[in-house]
Structures are given as structure tokens and as C-alpha cells.
Chain A
Amino acid sequence: DTGVSQDPRHKITKRGQNVTFRCDPISEHNRLYWYRQTLGQGPEFLTYFQNEAQLEKSRLLSDRFSAERPKGSFSTLEIQRTEQGDSAMYLCASSLDGYTFGSGTRLTVV
């Protein structure tokens, strides 16, 4: 499979716990994006990497959120001290010319 992979597909966590998601982009794609989508809404931009450099972060990305792309390949998104409002689908996309989305990680905070 040469598409964008995200892991895990689903995550249920208790409020206050930390979670980490992983995204493996298409190997030749140098841009990587994280988006968050809640029910009934379109995806919202969270952050963007060009190779290993994090070039932009949305105001939505509070201090509890951190993203890395250490070697310009895979990326991780960590949420610390999760809150119920963090429940959403977290989508990763990689881009060279067009975008390719992963299947997303669905987070439920209980």
C-alpha cells in the first residue's frame, strides 16, 4: 500500500490521559498536514510540515497539542491531558502536487 497510513484507526481514552497518533505519508511527498474533523463539519487545519520543519500551527492547536516530523518522513501528533472536546477524527494528508489523505484516527475521550 503506497497511500498515507494512520495509526491507530480508533482510540478510546479517558479524560486526562495522553494519546499519540502516527502518520506515514507517501514517501516522496515533502508536505504533511494534520487536520481535525468533528461531526457535521469540514476538516480544520491544525499544522503543516515541509520536510521536517513545522511551518505553521493553527490557533486550534493549544499547548496540549504537539506534532513532530523528526526525519521528514512519518509524523506524530500528541495530545496531552485529553478533554472531551478533543473527540474528533484526526486526518493526516501528504502532498507533492495534490493531496492524499489517510483514513484518519477517530479519537473518543470518555
Chain B
Amino acid sequence: RKEVEQDPGPFNVPEGATVAFNCTYSNSASQSFFWYRQDCRKEPKLLMSVYSSGNEDGRFTAQLNRASQYISLLIRDSKLSDSATYLCVVAAMDSNYQLIWGAGTKLIIKP
């Protein structure tokens, strides 16, 4: 079983729609959680950290469920520019906070 699992997609979504991704992680000692965005052939860029209380940044909302060991990302009013791969990432103190990455979920926003 992979340490961080994501649905690879692609998710084909019309512009303006709401889309949600989930991610599950296996290490219960995980302490830090992130969503990264990666455009084709570019480096990953931090989209948002995920806090236990959930957090929102504009059209993006992230949630953490420690009991079930999953993280979610919700994108509202999706834009063409949201098309990218979204990577779920966790880190744990017992692994020197090295980042453990999911394989990513590909999102395609259609006009």
C-alpha cells in the first residue's frame, strides 16, 4: 500500500463547477499536510497547508480528518487556469519531516 494515495484522475470539469479531491495517508504519526499544485513539466508549488480545523483560501478549501486519515481539497467556481495536477503531501517528525507525496490528481477544466 502506498503511503499517500490519490485518485489519479483525470477529472474533467466544466468551468465554474465545484470539484473535490480526497487523499488518504497511512502513517498515523503524520503531522503536517499540504496540497501542492504542479503544472506540466514544472516544479511543484505550494497551494496551501492543511490544518486540523480546516482552512480556506479564496476558492480553495482544505480539510483534514485525522481519525480517518484523509485530506480533502475543494475548488469552487473553477477557472481554466486551475487545470493542473494536485499533489497531496504529508510529513512526519519521525521521518525528519521529509515530504511524502501522492502521485497527484490531474484536473482539466473545460470551457
A2 CB contacts on chain B under 8 angstroms = none
Interface size on A, residues (CB 8 A): 22
B104 in contact with A101 (CB, 8 Å)? no
Asked whether any CB of chain A lies closer than 8 Å to the CB of B16, the reply is no
Q: How large is the interface on B (under 10, 10 to 19, 20 to 34, 35 or more residues)?
A: 20 to 34
B4 CB contacts on chain A under 8 angstroms = 42
The one of A40, A56, A95, A98 in contact with B103, judged by C-beta atoms closer than 8 angstroms, is A40
B100 CB contacts on chain A under 8 angstroms = 45
The one of B42, B97, B101 in contact with A42, judged by C-beta atoms closer than 8 angstroms, is B101
Asked whether any CB of chain A lies closer than 8 Å to the CB of B17, the reply is no
The one of B8, B43, B49, B102 in contact with A102, judged by C-beta atoms closer than 8 angstroms, is B43
The one of B43, B97, B101 in contact with A104, judged by C-beta atoms closer than 8 angstroms, is B43
B43 in contact with A48 (CB, 8 Å)? no
State the CA gap A64–B29 with chains docked (Å). Answer: 32
What distance in Å separates the Cβ of B74 from its nearest Cβ neighbour in chain A? 20
B96 in contact with A44 (CB, 8 Å)? no
B95 CB contacts on chain A under 8 angstroms = 56
A45 in contact with B98 (CB, 8 Å)? yes
State the CA gap A92–B103 with chains docked (Å). Answer: 18
State the CA gap A2–B97 with chains docked (Å). Answer: 23
A33 CB contacts on chain B under 8 angstroms = 98-99
Given the interface pairs A42-B87, A55-B96, the reply to whether A101 lies near B44 with Cβ below 8 Å is yes
The one of B41, B45, B99, B103 in contact with A35, judged by C-beta atoms closer than 8 angstroms, is B99
Q: Which residue numbers of A lie inside 8 Å of B, CB to CB?
A: 33, 35, 40-45, 48, 55-56, 89, 91, 93, 95, 98-99, 101-104, 106
Q: Which residue numbers of B lie inside 8 Å of A, CB to CB?
A: 4, 8, 41-46, 49, 87, 89, 95-104
